[in-house]
Amino acid sequence: MNSINTSYELDHIEMRQVYANTLLHLAQQNPDIIGLEADLMSAITTNKIIKEIPNQLINCGIMEANMIGVAAGLSLTGKIPYLHTFGQFATRRAYDQLFVSCNYAKLNIKILGSDAGVTAEHNGGTHMVFEDLALTRIIPGATVIEVSDASMLRNLLTQVEKIYGFHYMRTIRKNAVKLYNSDETFEIGKGKVLRDGNDITIIATGIMVAEALQASDMLEAKNINAAVIDLFTLKPIDRELIIHYAEKTNHIVTAENHNIIGGLGSAVAEVLSEHRPTKMKRIGINEQFGQVGKTDYLKEVYGLTKEHIYLQCLEQLDINK
């Protein structure tokens, strides 16, 4: 069990600042690290890196396909590219480049896809990515992560420097709810059990982890003991943990700021249907595109709230509301 913050308050630091600060720190220690941007430096605040170490951050212009090829070329020659763009550009727009030049060619490339799901807010449907985890998850050998808070992002960005391979990391850009202490450790491929429980398990990622914890508080008031897991690594997935909690609680609900096809809900269902068939519900985007709106509004629209998780858990347990 992990000790976590239960105030559910936003961290003082934005996720983009965490990315830029961590990348700057790593790049200052290792001249082989090269940051790549496609005209979104100021959106993610990496322009501070260009000021400090101009040779280690390349603004590739608005050409995502070429940027991914450049990353492959840098990796071929021993560099470690950290590439950022909005998630839909990194995946939907340049998918064959991601597939062939990065992964089929087995190169060492770290990608941060920002503005996860509804947090793209007023960029709307064209920029709202509910598919990036699905698209990256089906690539053989890819590691796929959705970070849930600042401590995790900092930790994982640092870890992946030393792990050869393709890492896709999804994040929001602004402030995330603070969940973990700054000295928390994370193991890629291992979920974090944030709360134990016997009646039902809520497995969540990203912004839905804080919602899941609050839903479990609401359930507690009804004497329902819900476990909450932050399954930040979608691939490789933590089979043992999922099966263990399916056996322990017999009911699983997943919650993700992503399409339920191909994302967390699918990934958990794949494990359970093969190893421990368990009745489950998948909360997430279902057959819908994005749209403009504030995050709180969009969470209501798509059912990404603690109330919705709470109600779905009750329904799953066949308990009258």
Partner 1 sequence: MPSSLEELQHLSDKIRLYTLKELENLGFGHYGGSLSIVETLAVLYGGMMKYDPISPKWEERDYFILSKGHGGPALYATLFIKGFFDETFLYSLNKNGTKLPSHPDRLKTPGVDMTTGSLGQGISVATGVALSHKLSNKPNYTFAIVGDGELNEGQCWEAFQFASHHKLSRLIVFIDDNKKQLDGLTKDIIDPIDFGPKFKAFGFYTLKVNGSSVGEIYHAVEKAKTQSDKPVAIILDTIKGQGVPYLEQLESNHHIRPSEQDHQAITTAIKELELRTGVKA
Judged by the rule CB under 8 A, the positions of this chain that interact with partner 1 are 34, 55, 58, 60-61, 63, 65-66, 68-79, 96-97, 100-101, 104-106
Q: What is the largest CA-CA distance in the chain?
A: 61
Task: For residue 236, say if its preceding peptide bond is cis, omega within 30 degrees of 0.
Answer: yes
Cβ pair 204, 231 in contact under 8 A:
yes
Q: Give whichever of 100 and 319 is closer to partner 1, judged by the CB atom.
A: 100
Q: How far is CA 24 from the centre of its chain?
A: 21
Q: Give whichever of 68 and 241 is closer to partner 1, judged by the CB atom.
A: 68
How far apart are alpha carbons 27 and 25 in whole angstroms?
Answer: 6
Task: For residue 140, say if its preceding peptide bond is cis, omega within 30 degrees of 0.
Answer: no
DSSP label at 140?
Answer: T
Tokens of 83: 């590439």
In the complex, least distance from residue 52 CB atom to partner 1, rounded to whole angstroms: 15
Q: How far is CA 316 from the centre of its chain?
A: 25
Cβ pair 211, 309 in contact under 8 A:
yes
In terms of Cα–Cα distance, which of 183, 149, 157 is closest to 11? 149
In the complex, least distance from residue 189 CB atom to partner 1, rounded to whole angstroms: 24
Q: Give whichever of 45 and 97 is closer to partner 1, judged by the CB atom.
A: 97
In the complex, least distance from residue 56 CB atom to partner 1, rounded to whole angstroms: 8
Cβ pair 252, 201 in contact under 8 A:
yes
Q: Give whichever of 106 and 248 is closer to partner 1, judged by the CB atom.
A: 106
How far apart are alpha carbons 266 and 259 in whole angstroms?
Answer: 9
In the complex, least distance from residue 165 CB atom to partner 1, rounded to whole angstroms: 13
In terms of Cα–Cα distance, which of 109, 103, 171 is closest to 136? 103
Q: Give whichever of 60 and 231 is closer to partner 1, judged by the CB atom.
A: 60
In the complex, least distance from residue 167 CB atom to partner 1, rounded to whole angstroms: 18
166 burial type by CB count under 10 A (0-12 exposed, 13-18 middle, 19+ buried): buried
In the complex, least distance from residue 88 CB atom to partner 1, rounded to whole angstroms: 18
Q: Give whichever of 104 and 289 is closer to partner 1, judged by the CB atom.
A: 104
How far apart are alpha carbons 43 and 208 in whole angstroms?
Answer: 23
Q: Give whichever of 71 and 202 is closer to partner 1, judged by the CB atom.
A: 71
In the complex, least distance from residue 81 CB atom to partner 1, rounded to whole angstroms: 8
In the complex, least distance from residue 134 CB atom to partner 1, rounded to whole angstroms: 21
Q: Give whichever of 125 and 141 is closer to partner 1, judged by the CB atom.
A: 141
At which residue do the structure tokens 């940027």 appear?
67
Q: For residue 279, what is the enclosing H or E element?
A: strand 279-285
Q: Give whichever of 103 and 114 is closer to partner 1, judged by the CB atom.
A: 103
Strand pairing report for 251-259 and 279-285: parallel
